[in-house]
Amino acid sequence: MPPAAALLPWRRLVVPLLAVVSVPFVLPLALPFLLRSSSSRQPLSAARPLYAPGTCPYVDEAYACASNGRPDAAYTRWRWAPRRCRLPRFNATDFLATLRGKRLMLVGDSMNRNQFESLLCILREAIPDKTRMFETHGYRISKGRGYFVFKFVVINLTKTDKWNPWRRSVTVIIVILQDYDCTVEFVRSHFLVREGVRYNRQKNSNPILQIDRIDKSASRWRKVDVLVFNTGHWWTHGKTARGINYYKEGDMLYPQFDSTEAYRRALKTWARWIDKNMDPAKSVVFYRGYSTAHFRGGEWDSGGSCSGETEPTLRGAVIGSYPRKMRVVEEVIGRMRFPVRLLNVTKLTNFRKDGHPSVYGKAAAGKKVSRRKQDCSHWCLPGVPDAWNELIYASLVLEPKPRSWKHH
């Protein structure tokens, strides 16, 4: 088997991690290294997630499926296992050590907030004193707030009692072994480019998207050590998909514009900003690709359903056609100067029809399930986003680090 790093050519090739390792499959968490046994399904009995359901205070109600009454638990026990390379065993303590003195920021829509909450829960498991992990502004995680900063100031102390014969007393020597002093942050940016409004003659406001201007939150992105971007979830909804009097470039508001082309131009705007403002000697930038939804019989607002799914698709049904927007992502990133690391999770998520909140995304009016609109695009936690964070960890471990990191 070739070295693991040779199988992960993120740096200049637009060959995403999950495409390099051939046909994927899923594997229970308890069996992380049996990567060649792709033809058989492994037992779930000894498997366990990276954190127990219901134990992490940072999971939004919408993703807390077990707390909302979901009766099965198998969806928490699957780990992504590519066939032809071995991912390093996830180690939350090592992840924190890698981030010592650094900032990791996720920027994007609610799918990235889903991943952000997963990462908080994973890293929390490595902290004996949970009070040493806190949101710096005192905010509670909620859908209404678009900016969070969690700080990890974890100090492990070793106390040594040393006898001092001259003073005939015991001197207590305290050695600070670890002080992570790192932050994990989330910045909401639905499109990575600027949202705005226009007013008609009646002074009524209508939303627009300025695809040639970077999002206002970009001022927060500078000088961040690890950035994880995404956009895509909102490009399939309403005005964004129809493109009528919505997309704007310069002073031109297009009466009608194709949403895929708008997506391409928006990503190019983001790419230009990254190339101009980020230094690969100081920072690592990830772009996480499209996450598969599993609506049956309609979309999120038209009766689409994924209820009753308790098992992943272990073989057979894969994506009918590769999403057009992922081809756009590969095209844009392939032409960038900055070596963005593409996390292509499209195939990975396609297998996980069992992982969505479905009817278990809400506990309302004394009931543990919501039968109205089902959520078949976001993910239960623990669950699929944990695998995305394992891939980020693998990249940071296996890929060369920025030059400036070696001095820390």
Q: Is 37 a residue of the active site?
A: no
- Name the catalytic one among 233, 294, 356, 378: 378
- Name the catalytic one among 38, 110, 370, 395: 110
Q: Is 378 a residue of the active site?
A: yes
276 Cβ contact list (under 8 Å, min separation 6):
none
Q: Is 110 a residue of the active site?
A: yes
**Closest among 123, 2, 94 to 396, alpha carbons compared:** 94
**Furthest-apart CA atoms within the chain: distance in Å:** 89
- Name the catalytic one among 215, 225, 354, 375: 375
> d(Cα 372, Cα 359) in Å, to the nearest integer?
8
Report the relative pairing of strands 341-343 and 78-80 from DSSP bridges. Answer: unpaired
Q: How many CB atoms lie within 10 A of CB 216?
A: 12
Annotated catalytic residues are: 110, 375, 378
